[in-house]
Amino acid sequence: MPDTPAVVATPRSRVRVPLRFHDGYEADTEVVTFHGLADGREHVAVILGEPGPVPLVRLHSECLTGDVFGSARCDCGPQLREAVERIAERGGVLLYLRQEGRGIGLYNKLDAYALQDEGLDTYEANAALGLPEDARDYTAASQMLRALGIGELELLSNNPDKADQLRSLGIDVRDRVPTGVFTTAHNVRYLRAKVLQTQHTLPLAALAELNAG
């Protein structure tokens, strides 16, 4: 597990960005960029609503295929849409982290998709490529939160590793709030693998029934 980062990140710029989604939902946001992030990547914080003392926070890893193109092979796009609305209602922050493909990058993710088409699950495909199941590190996320003055939060996530890493980095995760379940005919095996391999909090019985159907 990571240690508390020694380098302090600072806000670089703040800019108002109004959002409009394909279903017509709109939200006013403030997008914050940073100096001094540990991994040198261009992560951003999207501030929604009026964050309170214990804001609702989501760490959302970039997914070009799901977030931008609406891919049905994952649940990333619907999770992003849901997170924006739920955080805006409660007040909090969405950290958009440039960690495509659970940290392996876009091309490797697409290579893994090809192996999944041959029968491997999402984690087996990464292993077959000689890559880690999940290469994401949330050190930069903890720096961003501190730079925004957030030391305690509720985390919008089904992934226990996100909460564990943040806690190990000194962030007080008061509670982990599950996201919705967004299934398609193309992503049920992917979601089921997340439950079995990395203990995501998703209803396994329901996913198994959908997969059988």
Per-residue model confidence as pLDDT tens digits over 115-149: 999 988 888 899 999 999 889 999 999 999 999 99
Q: Is 207 annotated as a binding residue?
A: no
- For the chain, strand residue ranges (E) read 10-20, 26-35, 44-48, 56-61, 92-97, 152-156, 172-177
**Residue 3 appears among annotated catalytic residues:** no
Which residue among the candidates 73, 86, 90, 136 is catalytic per the annotation? 136
Residue 98: which pLDDT band, with cuts at 50, 70 and 90?
Answer: very high
Q: Do both 71 and 90 map to the same domain? A: yes
- Please check whether residue 81 lies inside any domain of the structure: yes
163 in Cβ contact with 173 (< 8 Å) = yes
- The span from the CA of 33 to the CA of 13, in Å, is 5
In this predicted structure, the answer to whether residue 207 has a pLDDT above a threshold of 60 is no
Q: For the domain that residue 177 is a member of, what is the CATH number? A: 3.40.50.10990
SS3 12: strand
Which residue among the candidates 134, 146, 161, 189 is catalytic per the annotation? 134
Q: Is 56 annotated as a binding residue?
A: no
Q: Do both 178 and 191 map to the same domain? A: no
Q: Do both 156 and 177 map to the same domain? A: yes
pTM of the model: 0.86
Which range of residues forms the domain containing residue 29? 10-99+136-182
In this predicted structure, the answer to whether residue 189 has a pLDDT above a threshold of 70 is no
Total domain count, the chain = 2
- Please check whether residue 80 lies inside any domain of the structure: yes
Average the pLDDT over 19-31 and give the result: 96
